[in-house]
Structure 1
Amino acid sequence: MEALLDTLRGTVEQLRDLTAQGLRRGAIRAAADVDLMDALRVAGDAARLADALLVEGAGEVARRSRMPERDLRLSTRLGCHDVNELLQRLTRLAPSSTARLQRAARAVLVEHRLDGEELPATLPAMREALIDGQVGVDGLLAVAGPLEAMGDRVGREDLLTADAVLAAEARGEGPDAAPPACADLLRVQATVWAAALDQDGAEPREQRATRLRGVWFGRERDGIIPIKGALLPEVAAQFQRICDATGSPRASDSGVSFHPDALEADPVLPDPRTTAQRTHDALATALFTAASSELLPTLGGAAPTLVISVRHEDLLAGTGWAHVDGVTEPVSIAAARHAGCAGVIQRVLLAGNGRIIRIGTEERVFNKHQRRAIALRDGNCIIPGCGVPAAWCEIHHVTDHAQGGPTHTDNGVLLCWHHHRFIDTGTWKLRINHGIPEIQAPRWHDPSLRWRPVTTSPTRLRDRTVRRT
């Protein structure tokens, strides 16, 4: 062991010198493309070999910390609460990384019986690939996860067959003669092997997934309510399709066109939102669309309706706060405007002491006939480059309802949830000119700041083309 430690220390010092040369002296920055690729490839080789030492070492630390008597455990003797804490202190890795080392070690650690006889590793071929530096922790776990999940439902011989084939794929020696497989490809292949060998595994896996599914809301903080959860695969896939449909800037086959004098710039504009923000807005779109579909179960005899209350004076002035039923913290006036524009408005007059003086009738902002007509005219969300289809859009009062704007097709335009929610604070301006929606693009897109009619309606686009010809 002394010789191994001396060699390792010498290797680390050489790597430290090479790293200083590559980073501090700019060798990496000045490298040609082919040399940069080779440097990364060799660094990957070194990282996988280091992984092998870390995995084996973590496994041995875990083995020496399995003593029944706590005081005899290695982790306890070194003043640590458990193996994970000891590995964190030794390697300076995060708890999640040291936990991954322990999981990897369980798949390839060689155990011994009480009489000293060696027991083979769970995945012996993957162990050899790890020792040879052909696979690292990521690749090893990508294989071990699906194969170990089969448990004892699959015989040892079948498990060893899968192990051997997947190790060959990691080396680039598989039956398809493909280059060495990366971790993601190994995960896909291991999953296929598990599905083929474990025909009875789907049902217990489904039961396990069913128990684990859930969505949890946290406590509101700074105007945001955190959410976390675990979705069943088909639910996640359906949500991803919704995200794809509402987040694609080219969702409309007909595209977006200004009329007349279309801008020479590409009308598909960059979306300033992050991926997480687009996912949030897709979820909001799906929820508000479902709530307004009249297909959900009722609450108290009515469709599930988001109730937002606001003082009439604050709504007119655009200042102050609104309140959402079921949420303790107040929300902005913009949220109240959005809800009033897309849902139902009912005016309740209260006396100074809180007594209800008058209850107005509910006013649904746009009926289905008006919505169809507006959809025919506008096509999709009218903000250029958005393309969210009409069925997913809300109808926005160009002149606000609280300001006396009529519920008329000459005062309504299609906007997706995102653009509807932030139209008042965004850079796009809207107006209706003789019954036709017009857009004023931001200065960075159209320095002239001209008002331009806009539509994605294929009928209107075709009519305009016929007129020009």
Structure 2
Amino acid sequence: MTEILDTLHDIVARLSAVVPVALAPDGLGAMDDASVMQVMDAAAALLRHAEALLVEGAAVAQERSQTAVVADRMTTALGARNVRDLVQRATRLSGARAAEIVRAAGAVGPRYGALSGDVLPPAYPALRSAMAEGVLGADAVAAVARELDRAAVDPDRLSAADVELAASARGDGPTGGGLPTADELRLQAQVWAVWLDPDGAEPRDDLAQRKRGLSLGRARDGLVPIRGMLLPDVAGALQRATDSILNPRVEGPAFRPDGGGGAEGPSGDGAYAFGDDVSVVDQRTRTQKMHDALATIVTTATRSGALPTLGGAAPTLLVSVRAEDLASDRGVAHIDGSDAVVPLAVVRQIACAGGIHRVFVGGNGRIERIEVADRVFTPAQRRAITVRDGGCVIPGCDVPAAWCEIHHVTPHARGGATHTGNGVLLCWHHHRTIDVNGWAIRMRHGVPEVRGPSWWDPLGRWRPTTSSPTRTRDELDRRRRARGSSP
């Protein structure tokens, strides 16, 4: 057995010598593309062979830790809680990777009779052979075993899947002769599992139904944690809904201060390119976009009127703030049903898109009077604004009109009326951040104009904006006529 250790020590010594050379400035960085790919391929092959040894070692540790006498167990002798802990200590891998190796060991490692102690064939002998050849890594074996183990069928019926998946790993499978990745093998194993056990999805769905759930935690640092497990169809619908909202643009061309030679704007303060692409970079992370998309879905659903009523009214978010704080624009507000406090910017956004009920409370706590300020745009006004704006008026934002909120350009508290000449479409994200994101909006002769941040337009000029295809066509026609009449 010393031959195995001697060989491994020799390989480690050789790698210890070559890795610093490869990581030097004139190492891999100086190679051509083909050479870099060859190095990565060879390193991956070496990794798969090494994982085969780790999996076999984990299988041996598993067998030696199943004895009834606790003191005789390998895990006990080496001070480990279980085999995964033992693998993690020996390899310094993460807990997830160690668990992956243990699962692979259960799939392709040798098994032993509980009473006789005789060596039994592994559960998936073909996958074991493929792993010994270095064509399968521990992650692929674990992924395949996880899918096939779910099929409630006799182990003998799994042999066909075992053989076919091992053949696919060698390049002789449904991927067209190519070598599949671990994820592709997992998908193939899913197909096999469904074919072997077509009724298996029903008990899994019953279990999923029992484990489904969603909960909101207590607010911390201005954030409310959300935890839960979604059913696949619910998660799929949510994913499609968020995909329809999220701005697909993650980068945009640099803004041209001259407007790209566009026509003179109606404000007479410089040229602008009405139909040109002046998209801006969306700095939000993917998770932040997902949050904002969920916020859009919730607010749109409550606005739709399709949800059940609460106390005879549509679901309404109650936000309370003291009159003196609102007047001084300093202080905080409280969200009904949450122990979190929010800044007044949140109050302004919610009030802009909804109605206000002023409740006057006397010094003794008695409600003296209630005033209702109806500031919600009517469906007819919303349709008219949609025709004019097309969607969110911030350049580069692709959120459609149906998902947008209507922003009072002149705040209602400052005398701004609720009519089409004072309302513009903004997505939830830009509406929430309009006071701090560097964008400014004004109405000029009933047309929305925006002024971008200094990094987008150093000159800070006002520019008409719309994503309405009809208005865009009108402007392009006007520009064509202007060019045709010029000398």
User: Do these two structures clear the TM 0.5 threshold for a shared fold by scoring above it?
Assistant: yes
Match of 1:149, SS state, is coil
The one-letter code matched in structure 2 to 1:351 is G
Q: Is the 8 A contact 1:438 1:453 kept in 2?
A: yes
Higher mean Cα deviation, 80-89 or 423-432?
A: 80-89
Q: For structure 2, which runs of at least 5 residues remain unmatched after alignment? A: 251-258, 266-271, 482-487
Give the equivalent residue in structure 1 for 2:14: 14
1:111 paired to 2:111: yes
Counterpart Cα distance in 2 of 1:365 and 1:331: 22
Please report how far the alpha carbon of residue 19 of structure 1 lies from its aligned counterpart in structure 2 after TM superposition: 1.4
Counterpart Cα distance in 1 of 2:174 and 2:180: 12
Counterpart Cα distance in 2 of 1:177 and 1:354: 76
Higher mean Cα deviation, 82-91 or 297-306?
A: 82-91
Match of 1:346, SS state, is strand
The one-letter code matched in structure 2 to 1:57 is G
Counterpart Cα distance in 1 of 2:363 and 2:462: 45
Alpha-carbon spacing, 1:320–1:7, altered in 2? closer, same or farther (3 Å) = same
Q: Is the 8 A contact 2:275 2:472 kept in 1?
A: no
Structure 1 stretches of 4+ moved >6 Å: none
Cα shift readout 1:235-284 (whole Å, capped 9, x = no counterpart) = 11111112211113479xxxxx9984317973232211111111111100
Give the equivalent residue in structure 1 for 2:449: 438
Give the equivalent residue in structure 2 for 1:213: 212
Counterpart Cα distance in 2 of 1:240 and 1:355: 47
Give the equivalent residue in structure 2 for 1:254: none
Alpha-carbon spacing, 1:460–1:347, altered in 2? closer, same or farther (3 Å) = same
1:74 paired to 2:85: no
The one-letter code matched in structure 1 to 2:464 is P
Cα shift readout 1:188-219 (whole Å, capped 9, x = no counterpart) = 11111222222111211211222222223233
Q: How many residues are paired up?
A: 462
Counterpart Cα distance in 2 of 1:10 and 1:409: 78
Cα shift readout 1:351-410 (whole Å, capped 9, x = no counterpart) = 234332211125242121211111111111111111211111100111122223221211
Cα shift readout 1:43-82 (whole Å, capped 9, x = no counterpart) = 1011111111111111221221122232222111222222
Q: Is the 8 A contact 2:274 2:464 kept in 1?
A: no
Q: What pairs with 1:37-56 in structure 2 (closer than 5 Å)?
A: 37-56=37-56
Q: Is the 8 A contact 1:316 1:402 kept in 2?
A: no
Higher mean Cα deviation, 260-269 or 213-222?
A: 260-269
RMSD: 2.1
Counterpart Cα distance in 2 of 1:391 and 1:129: 53
Match of 2:311, SS state, is coil
Q: Is the 8 A contact 2:107 2:145 kept in 1?
A: yes
Q: Is the 8 A contact 1:315 1:402 kept in 2?
A: no
Q: What pairs with 1:184-333 in structure 2 (closer than 5 Å)?
A: 184-249=183-248, 260=265, 261-262=272-273, 266-333=277-344
Alpha-carbon spacing, 1:2–1:218, altered in 2? closer, same or farther (3 Å) = farther
The one-letter code matched in structure 2 to 1:193 is W
User: What TM-score results when the alignment is normalised by the length of structure 2?
Assistant: 0.90
1:150 paired to 2:165: no
1:100 paired to 2:111: no
User: What TM-score results when the alignment is normalised by the length of structure 1?
Assistant: 0.93
Corresponding residue to 1:366 among 377, 386, 393: 377
Counterpart Cα distance in 1 of 2:76 and 2:14: 34
Corresponding residue to 2:413 among 364, 386, 402: 402
Q: Is the 8 A contact 2:63 2:112 kept in 1?
A: no
Q: Is the 8 A contact 1:65 1:74 kept in 2?
A: yes
Q: Is the 8 A contact 2:391 2:468 kept in 1?
A: yes
Paired-residue identity, %? 50
The one-letter code matched in structure 1 to 2:142 is L
Q: Is the 8 A contact 1:316 1:403 kept in 2?
A: no
Please report how far the alpha carbon of residue 167 of structure 1 lies from its aligned counterpart in structure 2 after TM superposition: 1.0
Give the equivalent residue in structure 1 for 2:465: 454
